[in-house]
Amino acid sequence: MSRIGKQPVEIPDGATVSIEDTIIKIKGSQGELSFDYGYEVTVEVKDKEVIIEQKGNSKFAHSMWGTTRSLIQNMIEGVTNGFKKTLELHGVGYKMAVQGKKMVLNLGFSHPVELEIPEGLKAEVDNEKLIISGTDKQAVGQFAAEVRALKKVEPYKGKGFRYEGEQFIKKEGKKAVGTE
């Protein structure tokens, strides 16, 4: 039995859930998301709750049971509250700016790096912090990871992008060895 899959997902006020064939659509104050959950599980809406049950006894159906429940929970959370990732940029001369649907990053390369902000996401710069927000948890996390991969934290000086509150281990540099 899946401990996650057998828990019902509560639908908060302000969110509506509709099911057509194997597609679940969730609308809320932040936007609308849809997901095709396939034929391995059944999804039904009862009394402000979404109940997910597995079909059959296959290993794939069992694994999709908990996964589908978590995806639906994240969709409901996204359309009601939204998701947010914050990246901090450390380093002298490193700059970032948002210009319309593009981000322009000066990361110490010979040229500025331009990134297109994906549809459905918002990016804003506040001092040396980049705040990425949207309704889709996967899209927010993926875009934050792509931005972070442009300039990961350098282990000797700590320059580069890191998530807010992320700890990193600073390495000790080379030491001059005295001649005898």
Q: For 78-101, write each residue's pLDDT tens digit.
A: 999 999 999 999 999 899 999 999
CATH fold for the domain made of 9-80: Outer Surface Protein A; domain 3 (3.90.930)
Give yes or no on whether 9-80 and 83-163 have one common fold: yes
Number of other CB atoms surrounding residue 19 within 10 Å = 15
Q: What is the pLDDT of residue 82?
A: 94
pLDDT per residue over 32-63, tens digit each? 999 999 889 999 999 999 999 999 889 999 99
How high is the pLDDT of residue 180? 61
In the chain, what are the domain boundaries? 9-80, 83-163
Counting every residue written for the chain, the total comes to 180
Once rounded to an integer, what is the mean pLDDT over residues 138-155? 95
* 83-163 maps to CATH 3.90.930.12: yes
State how far the Cα of 83 lies from the Cα of 141, in Å rounded to an integer. Answer: 9
**Which residue type does 105 have?**
L
Tell me phi and psi for residue 164, to 5 degrees.
-60, 125
